[in-house]
Chain A
Amino acid sequence: MIYLQLFIAFFKIGLFGFGGGYAMLSLIQGEVVTAHHWISTSQFTDIVAISQMTPGPIGINSATYVGYAAASNAGFSNGMAILGSAMATFAVVLPSFLLMIFVIKIFHKYHNHPVVNTMLSVLRPTVVGLIAAAALLLMTPENFSTPNESAWQFYISIFLFLVTFLGTQVMHINPIRMICYCGFAGLLLYY
C-alpha cells in the first residue's frame, strides 16, 4: 500500500529531522532511495537541485516531489499521484504540529534546563556528521561518472565540485548563481 508507506516514511523524516534542511537530506535519502527505491540517487540529486532553485524548504519540496513520483511510478493515475504528493507533504509536517504544540505548553519550564542543554550540546555536532554523510552518499558514479566509464565527465564533475565548493565558501558567490553557472557549463560541455 503505497500511500501508507509514504505516510510512515515521511512522518519518520519529520519526526527525526533535526538540524534543518541539509541535515534532513541523509534521512530523506535513507528512506526514499535506500529503503524504498522510490527514486534513484541521480533523481534525488535533481530534486535537491530543483529545491535550491525554487522557493520552499527542502523537507516540503522532497515530500511533494517524491510523493508524486512514487505513486506515479507505482502505476497510479495523475490525480491519484497528486493525492500521494499531498499525503507525503501532510505526513512530513504532522510531527511538527504535535511536537510544537506540546512544547509551547511546557517550554518555559524546561528552557535552559541543564539536561536539555547537555542533550543539545551533543546533538549539534552530530548534525554536522549527518550533513557530511548526505554529501558523501551523493558522491556516486551516477552523479560524478567514473574514470573508466567516461573520463571526460568524471574530471569535469570533480572540477565543478571544487569550483562550487571554493566559489561559495571562499569567494561567497550566491549558491543559486553558482548552480546556474554549472548548468551552463554542462550545456556547453556535454551537449
Chain B
Amino acid sequence: MNIYWEGFRTFFKIGCFTLGGGYAMIPLIEEEVVNRKKWLTKEDFLDLMAISQTLPGVFAVNFSIYIGYKLRRLRGSLILALGTILPSFLIILTIAMFFATFADNQIIAAIFKGIRPAIVALIAAPCINLARAAHIKLTNVWLPVFTALAIWIFGVSPIYIIILVAVGGFLYGKLVQPDNK
C-alpha cells in the first residue's frame, strides 16, 4: 500500500479516537506506530515524547509531523498532520454551523448550565497530578502561584510569562549553574 495513504489513514484513525486530550492517546500511537507499522523503534518513540513535550503546540500534531518527516520528509509530515487534524476539524465545523440554533433551545441551555461547572472542575483537577509530575517543592512553588495570580488578577498575557520564565531559566542555567550535569 502507498505509504502516504497508509500514514494518512493511521493518523486519521488516531485523530478519531483522541478523546480526552493528547496524553490519552500516547498508548494508541505507540501501538500503531511502534508495534504494528514499525515506523519507529522504541527509543525513537521516547525521543519523540521528549521533543513533543518540550515544544509548544498541539501534542498529537507534533507527533504526526515528526513521524511523517521520518517517513517521507516534508510531504510526509504534511499528509500525516492533515490526517490528525481532519477528523476534529470536520466534527467541530459541523457543530459550529448548527450550535447557534441549538444553543437557544431550552433543553440544550439547561444541559449546558449543568455542564459548565463540571468543565471548570475538570480543568482544575489535573493541577494536582501535574504539580507532582513537575516536581513542585517549597523552593519553586512561587512559580505556579505567581503565574496563576498574574494571569487571573492582573490580566497579564500568558505569552509574556512563558517568555520571561524561558529566558530566566536559560540565564540561570547558563550563568548560575554552568557545571550542572
Contacts and interface: CB of A to CB of B under 8 A. Distances in A.
A42 B58 CA distance: 23
Contacts of A119: 166, 169-170, 173
A82 B93 contact: yes
Given A55-B15, A127-B130, A133-B152, A121 B169 contact: yes
Given A128-B136, A164-B121, A182-B117, A136 B169 contact: no
A52 B110 CA distance: 18
Contacts of A146: none
Interface string B101-139: 001001101111111111111111111101101111000
Given A119-B173, A125-B143, A131 B110 contact: no
B91 A168 contact: no
A2 interface: no
A67 to B, nearest CB: 8
A21 B22 contact: yes
Most buried by B among A27, A118, A125: A125
Contacts of B93: 64, 68, 82, 85
Given A45-B120, A101-B65, A183-B111, A132 B134 contact: no
Interface in B134-181: 134-136, 140-141, 143-148, 151-152, 155, 157-159, 161-163, 165-166, 168-170, 172-174, 177-178, 180-181
Contacts of B140: 122, 125
A114 B16 CA distance: 38
Interface in B24-83: 47, 50-51, 53-62, 65-66, 69, 74, 77, 81
Contacts, number: 350
A31 B4 CA distance: 35
B85 A60 contact: yes
Interface in A48-90: 48-52, 54-61, 64-65, 68-69, 72, 78, 82, 85-86, 89
B76 to A, nearest CB: 11
A59 B18 CA distance: 12
Q: Does more than half of chain B's interface fall in helix, strand or loop, or is it mixed?
A: helix
A99 B57 contact: yes
A146 to B, nearest CB: 13
A55 B148 contact: no
B61 A93 contact: yes
Given A101-B77, A131-B130, A54 B88 contact: yes
Contacts of B53: 20
Contacts of A175: 20, 122
A49 B116 contact: yes
Contacts of B20: 52, 175-176
Contacts of B119: 45, 48-49, 52, 138, 179
30 contacts: A12-B159, A15-B56, A21-B58, A30-B157, A30-B158, A45-B120, A46-B116, A50-B95, A52-B119, A56-B89, A59-B57, A68-B93, A97-B81, A107-B47, A115-B173, A119-B166, A122-B140, A125-B131, A132-B124, A133-B148, A135-B120, A138-B123, A144-B120, A163-B121, A165-B121, A178-B118, A182-B114, A182-B115, A183-B115, A189-B110
Interface of A: 12, 14-18, 20-22, 24-27, 30, 34, 42, 45-46, 48-52, 54-61, 64-65, 68-69, 72, 78, 82, 85-86, 89, 92-93, 95-97, 99-101, 103-104, 107, 111, 114-139, 143-144, 153, 156-158, 160-165, 168-169, 175-176, 178-179, 182-187, 189-191
